[in-house]
A and B are shown apart, each in its own frame.
Chain A
């Protein structure tokens, strides 16, 4: 990492001042919008309902908007808890279950391709290389026709979000395989001599050594799952019991339609962004690694 950075020994020059100014302006562009929703989330409803101007802060600032999200939304009468809390719970299991299972299945496949010898390996690998090249994003919505025909909509609408991921992504498999290739074969041979089988070798030798690769893939998948919107929208939109965090946030306007509810929308936006930002601040090294490496998957 350090090799490419040009270390300058001069004191603050005009060029550097210029760079600072641009970077600070960019920082303002990025964080001013967040600041506006943060400010508005504390402004009382009565003031918002009557004002025709943006309110830069109120003398009567309060946390009523945050309270309203937890105490007043209609999900409480339908599902017995605030929609935001249920949304968080649903998002967690709908993200973590397919992600963890999928990482394992992709890991097993990567292990097989990297360290085992079995008939048909070459052909299967070539096939995987080819299908991985096809960009299939365009079928994200039309897949609905398939899932509705196998009955995975309505009450079963969580299945299209849960099951496919468990089979392990081919991209993830390639990424892990590359990492496994760097682990010396002699370690596998030693495990074999000790009488360890496929899974024992995987969990005792490969997994501990490839932990960074798994962590970066995990973060990549977690950010994607936490923020995913199109899938839940397609399959779970009319299922209050399966509301996800993002679905809940997208419904906030219809849940609180009264005039001056912008403080609630703003509070919802803050509550939606905050968890990942906080986790990111503590683990930003892993985040950046996970998203750059997980994104390239080379």
Chain B
């Protein structure tokens, strides 16, 4: 703006309007993403008040210590945070790795749907439905399937397992629900990617005497790899930041975030728990919970950011 005033160019009304209009999404970004980023950054090093920002106090890295050093938080404010944190790291990575299974299912199903045959269109329409079903309804559905008395799984298997309450099985309940609902997106994306592969490549491969597997390995896979990297990128976000399905299928148990033994606790759930329970204070009435939540949020941001950057680079490379 200063540049133009120096040049003393008289703007036309339309140009001013265009500048204002182009700025609106950016202004929205700065206000609603920039400020939360700034506050949570400060919050890593200071105790911030949920309702009074003027009340900011340097906390001598207690937030970091509480998250990473075992027993530190327990001695400080009687909540064994690091125990839950390390548990949540394991569970989050475990659940996030489901995204790879989802991707594989999507690839296999899309490949099978590639050939046009009677009913292929119908299958394609049907397979997308779980993806648009609301997470809450999906969770209600799976909770009923895994129900101890009356649930269909125990009835079919003839077992008597408390799937949703046994720490050994409850993480699997979340994972199965994810596998049920997620592949639809990948199927549609792969279908679109297939149609962008040049048919001449297959013809050339056929002339070279390639069999079906060789064609898939040498023509199809390289052709769809930008889509694969894109889906992985989306999967990093969906996987590491999972909150809703985990929380809805395995709700917090009394005194134990993330259900019994915290086997359903993801990092996003831990952040949520810390924010909503930030009234827990140390002997002097100081709450470190929000600060700890900021530390975990920034850690998640760093992990998802780095991973999606790497995947983005790979995608650019594979596209060229």
Contact = CB atoms under 8 A, between A and B. Distances in A.
Given A118-B18, A146-B39, A276-B133, A19 B301 contact: no
A138 B297 contact: yes
B13 to A, nearest CB: 8
Contact of A139 (B37, B51, B117): B37
Given A131-B29, A133-B312, A167-B32, A262 B134 contact: no
Interface string A12-37: 00001001101100110111011011
Interface stretch (A59-67, A77-85, A204-212, A246-254): A246-254
A145 B39 contact: yes
Contacts of B253: none
Which DSSP category, helix, strand, loop or mixed, fits chain A's interface?
helix
Nearest to B234: A295
A226 B134 contact: yes
A112 B18 contact: yes
B22 A124 contact: yes
Interface in B14-31: 14-19, 21-29, 31
Contacts of B244: 229-230
Contacts of A287: 128, 132
Interface stretch (A68-76, A179-187, A263-271): A263-271
A23 to B, nearest CB: 5
Contacts of A124: 22-23, 26
Given A36-B152, A139-B33, A268-B137, A145 B290 contact: yes
Contacts of B202: 6
B230 A229 contact: no
B297 A119 contact: no
Contacts, number: 306
A124 B26 CA distance: 9
Contacts of A141: 243, 268, 271-272, 275, 293, 297
Chain B residues touching A, range: 35 or more
A48 B99 CA distance: 36
B192 A292 contact: yes
B141 interface: yes
B219 to A, nearest CB: 11
Given A30-B129, A142-B40, A109 B35 contact: no
Contacts of B252: none
Interface string B120-137: 000101111111111111
Contacts of A170: 25-26, 29
A258 interface: no
Chain A residues touching B, range: 35 or more
Nearest to B49: A149
Interface stretch (B66-74, B143-151, B166-174): B143-151
A146 B117 CA distance: 54
A270 to B, nearest CB: 8
Contacts of B11: 118-119
B144 A40 contact: yes
A112 B117 contact: no
Contact of B155 (A8, A48, A53, A127): A53
A109 B144 contact: no
Given A143-B36, A287-B132, A3 B17 contact: no
A273 B137 contact: yes
A16 to B, nearest CB: 6
A189 B102 CA distance: 49
Contacts of B82: none
B188 interface: yes
Contact of A167 (B24, B147, B192): B24
Contact of B51 (A119, A149, A167, A226): A149
Contact of B48 (A51, A145, A167, A296): A145
A2 B140 contact: no
Contacts of A5: 114-116, 194-195
Contacts of A240: none
Contacts of B90: none
Contacts of B192: 292
Interface string A154-165: 000000000110
A229 B134 contact: yes
A239 interface: no
A6 to B, nearest CB: 5
Contacts of B257: none
B271 A142 contact: yes
Report, nearest first, the 8 A-B pairs whose CB atoms are least far apart. Answer: A167-B28, A4-B195, A272-B137, A116-B18, A54-B155, A138-B301, A112-B18, A138-B300
